[in-house]
Amino acid sequence: MKWNQILLFIVAGVVIWTSLLSGNARATTDTIEEDYTTHCAECHGAGRLGGMGPALLPENLKRVSKDEAVEVILNGRTATQMPAFGNILDNEKARALVEMIYTPLAHIPVWDIEAIRASHKILAPTPALDGPIFDADPTNLFIVVELGDHHATVLDGDLMEPIHRFKTHFALHGGPKYSSDGRFVYFASRDGWISKYDLWNLTTVSEVRAGINTRNLAVSADDRFVMVANYLPHTLVILDAEDLSPIRVIDIRDAEGNSSRASAVYVAPPRESFVVALKDIAEVWEIQYRDNPLPVYNGLMHDYRLAEGLAEQGMFPVRRIQLDDYLDDFFFSQDYRRLFGTARNSKKGQVVQMDIGRKIAELDIDGMPHLGSGITFDYQGRTVLATPNLRKGEVTVIDLETYKTIRRIETLGPGFFMRSHENSRYAFVDVFFGKDSDAIHVIDKATLEIVETLRPEPGKTAAHVEFDRDGRHALVSIWDMDGAVVVYDTASLKEIKRLPMVKPSGKYNVHNKITRSSGTSH
């Protein structure tokens, strides 16, 4: 063979080899992309920026190892809508997907105050009204979120009849929050849209996109501000509650500059502040919304006498309460001085005293208590906290003075939501996961025993209970496209009505929310 023939042979070989390689690479990439589009995009967004499920970006996956992510793809994730793909995808494909979601996007859209401002829309005027334009008691209305076709229904809580049904943004999550008079209600969608709805005039009055992937919102007790907690970008956004125009974007960073997602924000009315749990930093933040905020120094809020000489800090100063663990989810005592949180690593609940900003006790609850859904009530003269558990078939009852677990009530499976009412002797808890997800347990608060297990529609998940204003009726969702809200009499525990709805999720009674009933979430 001549030299030029040998050279040609080598070049041809290299060309064939390279094209084989790139062909292979393309085939693999196509497959991963197709897998992503087929199995992931519907919930996590075509661009991995999140939707019904969280954004799948390295910035948001810091606390999940690649091995854990493979496990989640194959076996699903407890307490979420994430199904198991183990029967569709093998280990290799799951790993390829994980490599993909841990690769940074070439370009993440910037969602700063300018972008937020550009998305802001006023949709309808807010007329001066003395009451609703319809004939029903405005304090006993319910909003029912219908996840199935992204609508919400306004329900008359006396007649138990729908008054109006309207379209919402895609995938609302978390409880809508009411203004203090119950006229306005604010919704957050998982993809960042915040809407303000006029319940008396039955119109959406304004909306704004406050984030790309949002957790929830809270409304200040003085009705002036809305705070939005985001997964992406890592920000808190303060909006004007009047028209939802943006006021301030706060970057979530620790002292070293590490950024974090927000787990959730809640309002603490007597403290005139918002309290925020962070996902990736072991801190809880407290942000006052009063006009003359108490100066924040060394993790404490000081009164002016002590704080003489401290520099003017302006509105919304951030108080950082340092913890020794991450808090995922929390719940306040009725006076908002103690916070009960679920700690990720220690597997124990944490009690944080808000005035001194320190952990003061641990709670003996394992599994994954859903403290955000906890309720408090009186048991034998003591205030107790009862919480369902997202990993265990148990409702845990804790004495709030001694922090001792006084009862573990065994249930038919892990539950998501728990509810009661001051006027009812019962608490209701669902069994969201497992073969008994069609069951709702009724617990007698005086004995801490399950006295009845309802099965409103055998074979279909029954979840999330909310009482009416007087505690006489409890509404249960049949969590199905062909679903319903089933109304029970809370004395006889008999069904009295069934209203067809499209995968109803949460229901929110105006009176119970604006009076911050101890039996419901705030």
State which amino acid sits at residue 445.
K
* Interface with ligand DHE, residue 521, by CB under 6 A: yes
What does each C-alpha distance from 282 to 91, 275, 323, 344, 359 come to in angstroms?
33, 14, 5, 10, 12
To ligand DHE, the closest distance from the beta carbon of 15 in angstroms equals 49
Q: Which two tokens stand for residue 370?
A: 């859903």
Give whichever of 206 and 505 is closer to ligand DHE, judged by the CB atom.
505
* Interface with ligand DHE, residue 416, by CB under 6 A: yes
* Interface with ligand DHE, residue 490, by CB under 6 A: no
How far is Cα 364 from Cα 348, in angstroms, rounded to an integer?
6
State which amino acid sits at residue 405.
T
Beta bridge partners of 465: 476
* Interface with ligand DHE, residue 415, by CB under 6 A: no
Give whichever of 286 and 329 is closer to ligand DHE, judged by the CB atom.
329
To ligand DHE, the closest distance from the beta carbon of 258 in angstroms equals 21
To ligand DHE, the closest distance from the beta carbon of 447 in angstroms equals 25
57 with 45: CB under 8 angstroms? no
Neighbours of 395 (CB within 10 A): 25
Kindly write out the interface string for residues 321-350 of this chain, putting x where it contacts ligand DHE by CB under 6 A and - elsewhere.
--------x---------------------
Instruction: Give 272's DSSP letter.
Output: T
Residue tagged 């405005």 (tokens):
138
Give whichever of 175 and 388 is closer to ligand DHE, judged by the CB atom.
175
Q: How many residues bind ligand DHE (CB under 6 A)?
A: 17
Neighbours of 378 (CB within 10 A): 12
Beta bridge partners of 359: 352
Give whichever of 175 and 211 is closer to ligand DHE, judged by the CB atom.
175
3-state SS, 378-427, equals: EECCEEEEEECECCCCEEEEEECCCCCEEEEEECCCCCCCEEECCCCCEE
Query: Among 464, 473, 503, 511, which residue interacts with ligand DHE (rule: CB under 6 A)?
Result: 464
DSSP 328-350: EEEEE-TTSSEEEEEETTT-SEE
Residues between 44 and 103 that touch ligand DHE (CB under 6 A):
79-81
Give whichever of 396 and 505 is closer to ligand DHE, judged by the CB atom.
505
How far is Cα 11 from Cα 4, in angstroms, rounded to an integer?
10
Interacting span for ligand DHE (CB under 6 A) from 64-72, 170-178, 244-252, 445-453 = 170-178
Beta bridge partners of 227: 218, 238
Any residues with CB less than 8 A from the CB of 318 and at least 6 apart, and which?
A: 250, 285, 286, 287, 296
Instruction: Give 489's DSSP letter.
Output: E
Kindly write out the interface string for residues 285-324 of this chain, putting x where it contacts ligand DHE by CB under 6 A and - elsewhere.
----------------------------------------
* Interface with ligand DHE, residue 503, by CB under 6 A: no
To ligand DHE, the closest distance from the beta carbon of 290 in angstroms equals 22
* Interface with ligand DHE, residue 175, by CB under 6 A: yes
To ligand DHE, the closest distance from the beta carbon of 278 in angstroms equals 12
* Interface with ligand DHE, residue 216, by CB under 6 A: yes
Query: Among 45, 157, 182, 372, which residue interacts with ligand DHE (rule: CB under 6 A)?
Result: 372
* Interface with ligand DHE, residue 264, by CB under 6 A: yes
To ligand DHE, the closest distance from the beta carbon of 502 in angstroms equals 14
To ligand DHE, the closest distance from the beta carbon of 169 in angstroms equals 13
Question: Which residues of this protein are in contact with ligand DHE, per CB under 6 A?
Answer: 79-81, 147, 173-175, 215-216, 264, 329, 372, 416, 464, 505-506, 521
